[in-house]
Amino acid sequence: MAYVKRRDVITLLGGAAAACPFAWPLSLRAQQPKRMFRIGILSGRRPETILREALTRLGYIEGQNTTYEVRNAQAQMERIGPYAVELVDLKVDVIVALGGPAAEAAKRATSTIPIVLWGVGDPVGLGLITNVARPGGNITGVTELSTELTPKRLQLLKELVPDAARIAIVWNSNDRAMDLRAKEFATTAARLGVTMVPVPIRESGDIDGALAGLAGNRPDAIMIVTDPVMGSREAATLEFLATHGLPAMYEFGDSARKGALLSYGPSLTDLAPRAAEYVDRILRGAKPGDLPLEGPTRYYLTVNLKTAKTLGIEVPTSILLRADEVIE
């Protein structure tokens, strides 16, 4: 078997997306399956509505030919493992895993039921697969490429706040995917001559205390690594940033729309129909191990000018010209 180095993942995923293995005639894809399928959805916190909508458009109609078994841990990540086992015991036809912890739990629970990744940040780094072009086994799907995006996010933050010498990173160290991003942050910070201020948390109850510690050891800027645990306290975190006048980089556009200075990353909404395509093809008989993983085809830079003005930051024209969305 040919193994793929992580530095080659972006190139291979881009090629897979361009090749569009799911470019079937619409009439064929829209044909409704003839038997009742049971689709399991495993999530740490993210809602699955847009995925179900995408599956409906492909002909999977709940109550007619499809039943859903949804297990959402609501950021109580200790539930993920037992939920994965529940789905296996229910003998679902496929499991859609939303995020790294869900994917890891699903892999531990079964080696036979197909697993479709939806927005898993680093499937190679997590050891879910070794070859993105031909993953083998029972796992395939779409990835965010979040580990590889970490240097770009830090570079954009430094470009917007050029005097930032100490930049904090807040992440859930219980989540192995988030740890990979923190390690990538450390490497990039050293290259940029930035001092990394590590702020690991392990559960939602740690977040307020961690932020309070930053108030007494103020960095020049912050990167927030998004996962279900950090997301469960996003409103409180954004309020802290506003109160203390701290510029922050987030991973997804919704956070910038809510008040963060900027964000850079793919749209999980964009990835949902593509995850649904994988489910569709597998339920029609394809083997997941034969289906190459795909990465995002587009990344979105969102800048909140209102926040920048409040912070006294002048956004360079170079960033404004690249921004996909500017909040005024």
Residue 270 has pLDDT above 50, yes or no: yes
Q: What phi and psi, each to the nearest 5 degrees, are found at residue 73? A: -75, -10
In this predicted structure, what is the pLDDT of residue 54?
97
Together in a domain, 160 and 97? no
* pLDDT mean over 48-76: 96
323 and 205 share a domain?
yes
Q: Is the pLDDT of residue 18 over 60?
A: no
CB neighbourhood size of 186 (10 A): 15
Tens digits of residue pLDDT in 289-302: 999 999 999 999 99
Number of folded domains that form the chain: 2
Where residue 199 sits, what CATH number does that domain have?
Answer: 3.40.50.2300
Does 158 lie in the same domain as 95?
no
Spatial contact of 251 and 222, defined as CB atoms under 8 Å apart: no
Q: Average pLDDT over the chain, rounded to whole?
A: 90
Pairing outcome for strands 262-265 and 300-304: antiparallel
Q: Tell me: do 226 and 240 sit in the same domain.
A: yes
Is residue 194 included in any domain, yes or no?
yes
154/109 same-domain check:
no
Domain identity same for 151 and 139: no
Residue 95 lies in a domain: yes
Task: Write out pLDDT tens, residues 255-267.
Answer: 999 999 999 999 9
Examine the domain organization and report whether 14 and 136 are in the same domain: yes
Q: Is 114 found in the same domain as 172?
A: no
State the pLDDT at residue 34.
Answer: 67
Query: Is there a single domain that holds both residue 47 and residue 190?
Result: no
Residue 286 has pLDDT above 90, yes or no: yes
154 and 87 belong to one structural domain: no
Does 244 reside within a domain?
A: yes
Residue 186 has pLDDT above 50, yes or no: yes
pLDDT for residue 144 is more than 90: no
pLDDT tier for residue 31 given thresholds of 50, 70 and 90: low
Q: Is residue 1 part of a domain?
A: no
Which DSSP string corresponds to 32-99?
PPSS-EEEEEEESS---HHHHHHHHHTT--BTTTEEEEEEE-TT-GGGHHHHHHHHHHTT-SEEEEES
Q: pLDDT-derived band of residue 13, with 50, 70 and 90 as boundaries?
A: low
What is the tens place of the pLDDT at every residue in 190-224? 999 999 999 999 999 999 999 999 998 999 999 99
Are both 246 and 285 inside the same structural domain? Answer: no
From 198, 204, 210, 199, select the one nearest 78 (Cα to Cα): 204
pLDDT digits (tens, 9 = 90+) for 72-122: 999 999 999 999 999 999 999 999 999 999 999 999 999 999 999 998 989
pLDDT of residue 20: 47
Q: Indicate the range of 27-41, 45-59, 106-120, 308-322 predicted with least confidence.
A: 27-41
pTM of the predicted protein model = 0.87
Q: Domain limits at 306?
A: 147-265+300-327
Q: Give pLDDT, residue 14.
A: 53
User: Do 257 and 274 sit in the same domain of this protein?
Assistant: no
Report, as an integer, the average pLDDT of 57-67. Answer: 96
Contact 195, 165 (CB under 8 A): yes
Q: Are 237 and 211 in contact (CB under 8 A)?
A: yes
pLDDT tens readout for residues 219-255: 999 999 999 999 999 999 999 999 999 999 999 999 9
Task: Assign 35 a pLDDT band (cuts: 50, 70, 90).
Answer: confident
pLDDT at 52: 97
Q: Which residues contact 115 (CB under 8 A, 6 or more apart)?
A: 94, 95, 96, 97, 103, 106, 107, 138, 139, 140, 141, 288
